[in-house]
Structure 1
Amino acid sequence: MNEQESKSKTNFLLTSFQKRTSSILLAIVIGLVVISFLFSSSQTMMMSAPDTIAQVGKHRIKIAEFERMFEQYVTMYSKMFGGSTLTAKQIESMGLKEKTIQQLINQKLSLILADKLGIHPSNTEIKEYIKELMKNSGHEFNVDTYKSLLRYQGTSPMEFEKNIKSDIALKKYQQIISNLPLTNGYMDAIKNFKSNVVNIDVFKLDKKNVEKHIPITDSEISTFFSDQKNVELIKSIFEQRKSSLDKPDEISASHILLRATDKKTDKDIEQEISALHKQLTTANFSDMANKHTMDPSGKDKGGSLGWFKKGQMTPEFENVAFATPIGKISAPVKTQFGWHIIYVKDKKPAYVATLDKHQKELAKEYLSRQKTEEIKKLIEEIKNEVTQSFKNKDYKKLEVLKEKYLAEYQKGLKVNKLDGISVNFEITPVQANQIFNGKVPEIHSFDNVLDFVIVNANNKEKLEVGKVEDKEKYDRQEQSYAISNKFNQELIELISKDIKIKQYNILR
């Protein structure tokens, strides 16, 4: 497709889509009332500012945006690897940096599409959105509190409000493309797919958990450490993981929060919390917190904050909390959120990991991972045990295997061909077809890179239409979302050919 054809197709899709959603767009445009709100004058931004990693049309992707999304990706993939810290090599091999940048580029392209559809959030909408955010976090809006919160987050009102404007535009864009019409014929076909189900039991095992059951003797560990290269190797692994092995000071605490309102000044609240403090005991703290605290997350929970580490709370709050002995109630303390009284329930001292304490377990983990043949053999033994247990309907044995190898085992699932199988694990479309098109009863075994999955297909049944709609919570909105998501992907792909996208090589 040449450039002219690409532009033509993009314009056609946008124009036809605008016609289908013209009433919605008109309502949005009419509702845009511009008022001033905490905005300083806009400044011209440099195309290649030092904090910019990419530019999509006029939209910059900043390092801070990248870091936030990159951290989300790393956390998600870390959980897939059993919660262990990902190495630089793993991050590189999975292309997490590239995935993060592409996701951010797609986000900016969606903003451009929103602009083409005439979605321009007003300052009034931004202000109301921020008020709602503060209300949901337990704060009445006022300019001083607002600016104080932003300072604590290390951002400016101008930058924050720009991000909020983008968030509103993206939400409106998603709302509009989610309202695609669906025919009755299409809905009937979907109902038919959903009504044909297979009843299955599933056993999934993370291969990483198998490695822990490969025996390593003290003699093997001693021989391993007799080579200085291996000593340095374990030292390097320890240094990479040390941050996840270290444990900072932690506190379990509850608090009561009071803050100024339209009717009460900060001075009034100071006097009120001082009077309340005199009535508090460790025995009545929970009931008093439920009655008086203005922290919505602590209501009906005795003001509980659970466990928190150093660096998670504001400095004023944290300093008092960590200085208060276990089982004691602090004096009132003032932060930008209001006045607090803190009840310290328990503490955990910091733990500093050392190589001496962890080198043996790290060596054992490394050596077990090298025994690939033993791992394969054990995996096959577990597969056979699981398969035989399914055949014998020995569900107690399956529970034992689940506990021993930290596996996932789910019984009595109803799945249909449309939704597929995605219950805490994923299988490929080819594997799914094998289950749905196969005989019953039948046992299917799928060997994936990170895990293996055994599916016991018990029987097939056809649900009544009423049960389909009730049990599966089927509605048009669900299908409309799936189709609009595909439509959005196609639009992004098309418009990306017309928009100048430039990446700056400042990430290493």
Structure 2
Amino acid sequence: MSVDRFQKTGSGILVSVLIGLIVVSFMFSDYQSFTNKVGSSGTIAKVGSSSVKVEEFRNEYNRQIQLYQQMFGKELSQQDIDGLNLKNNALESVINNKLLTNLASEVGISAGADEVKQEIKEISYFKTDENFDIEKYKFILSRNRLTPNEFEENILTDLKTKKLQSIIKTFPISSKYMEQINTFKGQKIKATMAKITLQEMFKFVEVSKDEMDSFLKNDANLARVTSKFNEQKKQLDQPEQIKARHILLTTEGKDEEKVKAEIEDLAKKVTLKNFKEMANKFTEDPSGKTNGGDLDWFAKGRMVPAFEEVAFNMDAKTISSPVKSDFGYHIIMVEDKKAAKEAIFEDYKMQFTKEMIQNSKNDDAKALLEKVKVEVKAAMDKKEITKLEALEKKYGFLFEKEKEINRLDGTSGQLSLSDEQLRTLFEKSKTNASKEVQIFDEIAGSIIVQAAPFVGEEKNDNDNEQDKKVLSQAISNKLFQSVLTQLKNTTTIKRYGTL
């Protein structure tokens, strides 16, 4: 049983399903500050003539939070959410869904009332003893401020979108086309790549103290800085944290009284000096067997309540008596503690001021982007990998060395190339220009690539039916993404507010 298994996973939370149509309680406080920005209409974005409501965004945001919590086996901190970029991802997901919904309506895709009813009956959260429970259905919807008509309309929309996706992804592909695709997939080169974005450059733009002082003398600017601090204060506040270790004896499938006797005997033997050694020897938490039961630093809300209630009431450098939780019995050692610290405006005023000034210096950011491009290109020309890694560390851009690229899929790493960029790269790799560093300028920045010379095609006989099926599915997915990209390019999309 791992540490994450006994971390609190949340109780009484309705997990969202499908496109996040079951609304769960909004878990993070900055949601309200965001909804205040989008106006009384509650519209967060516009896709063509269709509005994206805050509720739609909220549903998808919560759905993604639930998904990652299940994946990681723990509740997400605000830092986790920011790192995963869940707010923007959720909004883009809703926009994509709206694009597909609009297209489904345009091409006449429909779903019947019976299909909607059947879809709802299959949702496990509305079942009691494996059967659909109408009262449970109504209760859950009412708790989430949804009427049956609203929910069923959402299900209808989702069914239409899923049908459209199915049509696109199962579009028939000829054998001849498959052969051509297979040939493309066999064309491979290796390349060193860097992607530098304009957005990344803003934070490296120089700002003097005189500029910041002058900026803050303007009352409107000071109000903007204050507003930004107030919006982020709850994330900046530092909660009380403790650094702890534990020894766990599980009770699942065991005689609980016997386990209790064992843990009480163990509690008499552990000391501050031998705790790590004893944890490695006796704990039944697999993740603690090699690190002395280390739980690292954590705040309230990460562990199960019974564990936290004891741990947060202990002094540093003390060991608890046995503690009972749903996972068994624990002995806790608190190594250190950090008191809660409320964020103070003065501590962040200059930081936010600097960021605002930096974000206004578009010309400076563009100039810095060009400077970094020149440095990266020069280092690639000379194959100075150490210099490239130093530049990556300094400016934080994406950098990958010796990555395999095939003509069909592009790179297998984090960096991706457009079809046109791939065509250019492969054409030049077959000529004397293969040694040249290629720079692909985009709206958001630039991709810089140095590819090894093309050495020929790798024979890729896909006689295996499973291989053909996988390749066909990959092509269908690529087609689906192309359709989505085309919809974005031909539809007016407006985003309101700031996430």
- TM tier, shorter chain? 0.5 to 0.7
Q: CA deviation at 1:476?
A: 5.2
Q: CA deviation at 1:384?
A: 1.6
**Partner in structure 1 of residue 452 of structure 2:** 458
CA contact under 8 A between 2:57 and 2:94: conserved in structure 1?
no
Q: Could you report, residue by residue, the CA deviation over 1:71-107 in whole angstroms, capped at 9, with x for unpaired residues?
A: 479999x9999849899xx799x5555457899999x
**C-alpha distance in structure 2 between counterparts of 1:371 and 1:73, whole Å:** 38
Letter in 2 for 1:293: T
CA contact under 8 A between 2:64 and 2:86: conserved in structure 1?
no
* Residue 385 (structure 1) aligned with residue 375 (structure 2): yes
CA contact under 8 A between 2:392 and 2:398: conserved in structure 1?
yes
CA contact under 8 A between 1:66 and 1:100: conserved in structure 2?
no
**Partner in structure 1 of residue 196 of structure 2:** 205
C-alpha spacing 1:444/1:361, structure 2 compared with 1 (3 Å): same
**C-alpha distance in structure 2 between counterparts of 1:80 and 1:250, whole Å:** 17
1:486-497 mapped onto 2 (5 Å cutoff): none
CA contact under 8 A between 2:242 and 2:336: conserved in structure 1?
yes
SS at match of 2:342: coil
CA contact under 8 A between 1:253 and 1:345: conserved in structure 2?
yes
* Residue 482 (structure 1) aligned with residue 474 (structure 2): yes
Q: CA deviation at 1:415?
A: 0.8
**C-alpha distance in structure 2 between counterparts of 1:463 and 1:211, whole Å:** 42
**Partner in structure 2 of residue 339 of structure 1:** 329
Q: CA deviation at 1:361?
A: 1.0
Q: CA deviation at 1:208?
A: 3.1
Q: Could you report, residue by residue, the CA deviation over 1:437-496 in whole angstroms, capped at 9, with x for unpaired residues?
A: 334123222334444321112311236549x99xxxx95564265367589999xxxxxx
CA contact under 8 A between 1:70 and 1:97: conserved in structure 2?
no
**C-alpha distance in structure 2 between counterparts of 1:459 and 1:65, whole Å:** 49
Aligned partner (choices 442, 445, 452) of residue 439 of structure 2: 445
**C-alpha distance in structure 2 between counterparts of 1:428 and 1:239, whole Å:** 41
C-alpha spacing 1:251/1:207, structure 2 compared with 1 (3 Å): farther
**C-alpha distance in structure 1 between counterparts of 2:68 and 2:282, whole Å:** 40
Aligned partner (choices 409, 413, 423) of residue 433 of structure 1: 423
**C-alpha distance in structure 1 between counterparts of 2:361 and 2:58, whole Å:** 42
Q: CA deviation at 1:288?
A: 2.9
**C-alpha distance in structure 1 between counterparts of 2:385 and 2:64, whole Å:** 41
**Partner in structure 2 of residue 370 of structure 1:** 360
**C-alpha distance in structure 2 between counterparts of 1:181 and 1:310, whole Å:** 54
C-alpha spacing 1:49/1:325, structure 2 compared with 1 (3 Å): closer
SS at match of 1:459: coil
**C-alpha distance in structure 2 between counterparts of 1:488 and 1:377, whole Å:** 37
The alignment of Structure 1 onto Structure 2 pairs a total of residues equal to 377
Letter in 2 for 1:245: L
Q: Could you report, residue by residue, the CA deviation over 1:152-178 in whole angstroms, capped at 9, with x for unpaired residues?
A: xx99xxxxxxxxxxxxxxxxxxxxxx9
**C-alpha distance in structure 2 between counterparts of 1:402 and 1:235, whole Å:** 33
CA contact under 8 A between 2:376 and 2:388: conserved in structure 1?
yes
Q: CA deviation at 1:321?
A: 1.4
**C-alpha distance in structure 1 between counterparts of 2:343 and 2:202, whole Å:** 23
Letter in 2 for 1:357: D
SS at match of 2:347: helix
* Residue 402 (structure 1) aligned with residue 392 (structure 2): yes
**Partner in structure 1 of residue 184 of structure 2:** 193
SS at match of 1:409: strand
* Residue 252 (structure 1) aligned with residue 246 (structure 2): no
**Partner in structure 2 of residue 419 of structure 1:** 409
Letter in 1 for 2:253: D
Q: Quick one: percent identity of the two aligned structures?
A: 31
**C-alpha distance in structure 2 between counterparts of 1:391 and 1:258, whole Å:** 59
SS at match of 1:313: coil
TM-score, normalization by structure 2: 0.61
C-alpha spacing 1:49/1:459, structure 2 compared with 1 (3 Å): closer
1:35-114 mapped onto 2 (5 Å cutoff): 66-71=60-65, 83=83, 95=92, 97-99=94-96
* Residue 354 (structure 1) aligned with residue 348 (structure 2): no
CA contact under 8 A between 1:445 and 1:455: conserved in structure 2?
yes
C-alpha spacing 1:195/1:284, structure 2 compared with 1 (3 Å): farther
**C-alpha distance in structure 2 between counterparts of 1:62 and 1:387, whole Å:** 44
| Structure 1 stretches of at least 4 aligned residues deviating more than 6 Å after TM superposition | 48-52, 61-64, 72-76, 78-82, 84-87, 100-106, 112-117, 119-122, 178-188, 486-490
Letter in 1 for 2:437: I
**C-alpha distance in structure 2 between counterparts of 1:304 and 1:197, whole Å:** 45
CA contact under 8 A between 1:69 and 1:100: conserved in structure 2?
no
SS at match of 1:426: coil
**Partner in structure 2 of residue 241 of structure 1:** 232
TM-score, normalization by structure 1: 0.60
SS at match of 1:462: coil
**Partner in structure 1 of residue 30 of structure 2:** none
C-alpha spacing 1:369/1:84, structure 2 compared with 1 (3 Å): farther
Q: CA deviation at 1:197?
A: 1.1
* Residue 231 (structure 1) aligned with residue 225 (structure 2): no
Q: CA deviation at 1:187?
A: 7.4
C-alpha spacing 1:196/1:113, structure 2 compared with 1 (3 Å): farther
SS at match of 1:280: coil
CA contact under 8 A between 1:73 and 1:100: conserved in structure 2?
no
Letter in 2 for 1:288: M
**Partner in structure 1 of residue 281 of structure 2:** 291
Aligned partner (choices 203, 208, 211) of residue 217 of structure 1: 208
Structure 2, gaps ≥5 residues long: 1-20, 26-54, 70-75, 105-110, 130-142, 145-168, 483-499
Letter in 1 for 2:274: N
**Partner in structure 2 of residue 135 of structure 1:** none
SS at match of 1:373: helix
CA contact under 8 A between 2:189 and 2:453: conserved in structure 1?
yes
Q: CA deviation at 1:402?
A: 1.7
C-alpha spacing 1:422/1:49, structure 2 compared with 1 (3 Å): closer
**C-alpha distance in structure 1 between counterparts of 2:80 and 2:329, whole Å:** 41
Letter in 2 for 1:272: E
1:307-346 mapped onto 2 (5 Å cutoff): 307-346=297-336
CA contact under 8 A between 2:22 and 2:59: conserved in structure 1?
no
Q: Could you report, residue by residue, the CA deviation over 1:182-224 in whole angstroms, capped at 9, with x for unpaired residues?
A: 9998876555333321221111224333222222111111111
